[in-house]
């Protein structure tokens, strides 16, 4: 790498993960250029970065991306990422996974930058192998409602490997499993923010299906640490990042109700189409290649996340008994 201060372009920088990545890379001495069209991102997530070596460009990366000056890394994070968002924005989801990935790869090629794509455990679909290793090809319904996201990300991985093999771009693929933490949108529809929002308001907590389907939840700081390690890793193969601690959705709902001291009750709603029945990352590759594994226990991560949503929703602790 050249001897100037490393410079990274992050698409989706105003989103949940993108904004944490931007902040961590600034802390580590990078100059950061953040791009976002704010369709699901929020400038409030990056407002505190303005006085640092951070430039924000409001732009839809399905169109040509022009960046002045050198770029050492391109991190392509732009995409709707919650089931509600990609059901509301199906065409945009397909476009940013396909056209947006093409533009971001084109930028990396032009600048001779390293490239990292945010892929997803959704490439495994409703998995028939458990836990999921990177060698598993997945069980995805291309024409179901989740297909717009799953297939966009599968296409994005294929496009990334084509730029690696044909153009020699040094590319990395991170398959992100369920991640939670501050800066998720309370209404984005994902389980953790939905349950915390409902519990803090003492509303019914909506468990879909029987609640026996499983997920494995990773705290945001662990995920970001893994991504930063992957940026430097000598691999172009996909790497799973997530927390292997698997639990049922009913169990996480109950945990959140207990931790918020809520009077909410569980209510059971229909299971969305093609909702995966199980999900747990095999992180052997990340452990071996990156020396990485998650460190933040669920209750510690939930404590920070609940505190964030309390502030965001303006719901203090005053209504709770003193000993909680
Ligand atoms: N879920 C739920 N209630 C909600 C939101 C989600 O029971 O209000 C379930 C959903 O059906 C899935 C799991 O929680 O089985 C995780 O959903 P999420 O949208 O967070 O992410 P996914 O892993 O499905 O992409």
DSSP notation for 12-28 = TTTSHHHHHHHHHHHHT
- What is the CA(84)–ligand 1 centre distance, in A? 10
Give the global pTM: 0.95
For ligand 1, atom 10, the nearest C-alpha belongs to 208
CA end-to-end span of the chain: 52
Strands 214-216 and 246-248: antiparallel
| Tokens matching residue 6 | 């490393």
Architecture (CATH level 2) of domain 7-178+219-241: 3-Layer(aba) Sandwich (3.40)
Beta bridge partners of 269: 208
- The residue whose CA has the least distance to atom 24 of ligand 1 is 275
Domain positions in the chain are: 7-178+219-241, 180-215+245-280+296-313
Q: Among the options 149, 163, 180, 219, which is catalytic? A: 149
Question: 236 CA to middle of ligand 1, Å?
Answer: 30
Q: Which atom of ligand 1 is nearest to the CA of 83?
A: 19
**Domain 180-215+245-280+296-313 CATH class label:** alpha beta
* Residue 3 pLDDT: 62
pLDDT, one tens digit for every residue, the chain (324 residues):
446 799 999 999 999 999 999 999 999 999 999 999 999 999 999 999 999 999 999 999 999 999 999 999 999 999 999 999 999 999 999 999 999 999 999 999 999 999 999 999 999 999 999 999 999 999 999 999 999 999 999 999 999 999 999 999 999 999 999 999 999 999 999 999 999 999 999 999 999 999 999 999 999 999 999 999 999 999 999 999 999 999 999 999 999 999 999 999 999 999 999 999 999 999 999 999 999 999 999 999 999 999 999 999 998 774 544 333
Task: Reply yes or no on whether 149 is catalytic.
Answer: yes
Query: Which residues line the pocket of ligand 1, CB cutoff 6 A?
Result: 82-83, 178, 189-191, 194, 206-208, 213, 215, 249, 271-272, 275
Strand 218-219 versus strand 114-120 pairing type: unpaired
- What is the three-class DSSP state of 6? coil
């Amino acid at each position: 790498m050249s001897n100037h201060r490393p410079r990274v372009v992050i698409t989706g920088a105003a989103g949940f993960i993108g904004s944490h990545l931007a902040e961590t890379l600034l802390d580590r001495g990078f100059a950061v250029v953040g791009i976002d069209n704010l369709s699901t991102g929020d400038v409030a997530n990056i407002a505190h970065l303005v006085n640092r070596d951070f430039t924000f460009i409001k732009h839809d990366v399905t169109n040509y991306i022009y960046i002045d000056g050198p770029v050492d890394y391109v991190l392509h994070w732009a995409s709707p990422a919650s089931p509600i968002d990609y059901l509301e924005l199906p065409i945009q989801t397909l476009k940013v996974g396909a056209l947006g990935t093409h533009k971001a790869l084109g930028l990396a090629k032009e600048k001779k930058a390293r490239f990292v794509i945010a892929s997803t455990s959704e490439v495994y679909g409703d998995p028939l192998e458990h836990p999921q290793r990177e060698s598993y090809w997945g069980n995805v319904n291309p024409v179901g409602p989740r297909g717009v996201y799953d297939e966009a990300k599968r296409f994005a991985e294929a496009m990334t490997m084509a730029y690696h093999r044909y153009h020699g771009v040094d590319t990395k693929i991170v398959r992100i499993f369920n991640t939670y933490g501050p800066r998720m949108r309370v209404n984005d529809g994902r389980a953790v923010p939905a349950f915390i929002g409902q519990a803090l308001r003492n509303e019914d907590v909506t468990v879909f299906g029987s609640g026996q389907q499983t997920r494995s939840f990773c705290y945001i700081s662990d995920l970001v640490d893994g991504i930063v390690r992957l940026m430097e890793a000598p691999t172009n193969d996909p790497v799973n990042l997530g927390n292997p601690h698997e639990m049922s959705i009913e169990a996480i709902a109950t945990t959140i109700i207990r931790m918020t001291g809520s009077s909410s009750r569980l209510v059971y709603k229909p299971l969305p189409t093609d909702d995966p029945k199980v999900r747990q990352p095999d992180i052997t590759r990340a452990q071996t290649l990156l020396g990485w594994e998650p460190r933040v226990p669920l209750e510690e991560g939930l404590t920070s996340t609940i505190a964030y949503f309390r502030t965001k929703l303006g719901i203090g602790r005053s209504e709770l008994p003193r000993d909680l």
